[in-house]
Amino acid sequence: MSSHPAHSPSKTTAYVPSNSVFKEDIFRGKVLFCTGGGTGICQKMVEAVMRHGASAFIFGRRENVLHLAASALSTDTLQRCSYAAGDVRSVESLEKAVAKCIAEFGRIDFVISGAAGNFLCPIDQLSSNAFKSVVEIDLLGTYNTVKATLPHIKASQGSFISVSATLHYYGTPLQAHVSSAKAGVDALSQALAVEFGPHGIRSNVIAPGLIGDTEGFTRLSTPESQKTILKNIPLRRFGTRGDIANATVFLFSPAASYITGTILICDGGEHHTRTPASFGDSDPTKQDLNKTKKPSSKL
């Protein structure tokens, strides 16, 4: 019988840094291009790849945030990190960023499509513009990133990772916009894997569950809903940004050389157990949703 209480995670499920498993130089000489890499989960993904020897180029909308992130990433990892500001909804903006990346680093080996937007809203209150904005950022943004970087990934026989979610595996209230966008991201990644596998290119998806050390976790959930959801996670803990970073290192590494067209779900098993009751309200459309929007959000 296990000595661990039923409500506590086993020590074997706790997060450990990737450099305790993988060699620190496995990505030496490689270059990562990442959208959304200035904050949150994607910044941690970039950091992990850099800690294994890669240089990085991050892309996002806020130049001041990117400047600070690139400086911190370089200082923390002792690797080079550059950036460009722009909008993933504009393929021209991405093409300029990719050109800058090539001018500075000479190649691109890995691509992370991570730019995203989210808020809670019932369908009857969701404007067409808000729905369109999320789909354009998440899905069109991923497509534009692939289009802009694909010639260079073909040259390096590199690898794509798209950041998705688990919301669309079942009907998730208040998330129709994001669920629709992420379902498209999954389909796009799989088509990319099949079309360009013969060129030596791999394409996979990482689908995070609830990641506790993020701004979105705090904004989109309440202490009450967190308690309910935690009971439904078989590993009995919320994920961390480091968990997603570890999955990134694995999928980009030679250890995953025969893995493509796959969705790697990182949610502690929650997608097997979630029910409508997980959301803690018999009528989710009656929730106060004002606090779930970022103060600066235009959606």
Q: Which residues are catalytic?
A: 164, 182
Q: Are 272 and 280 in contact (CB under 8 A)?
A: no
Closest by Cα among 262, 234, 236 to 247: 262
Closest by Cα among 64, 36, 40, 139 to 56: 36
Tokens matching residue 9: 């995670």
205 vs 65: CA distance, rounded Å: 26
Closest by Cα among 169, 168, 163 to 247: 163
Bridge partners of residue 31, in order along the sequence: 55
203 vs 208: CA distance, rounded Å: 17
Tokens matching residue 32: 């990562």
Tokens matching residue 232: 């439904």
Tokens matching residue 15: 């997060």
| Residue 181, helix vs strand vs coil | helix
Q: Are 209 and 271 in contact (CB under 8 A)?
A: yes
39 vs 35: CA distance, rounded Å: 10
Tokens matching residue 83: 């950036």
262 phi/psi in degrees, rounded to 5: -110, 150
Strand segments, DSSP code E, in the chain are 31-35, 55-60, 81-85, 110-113, 159-163, 202-208, 263-266
236 vs 238: CA distance, rounded Å: 7
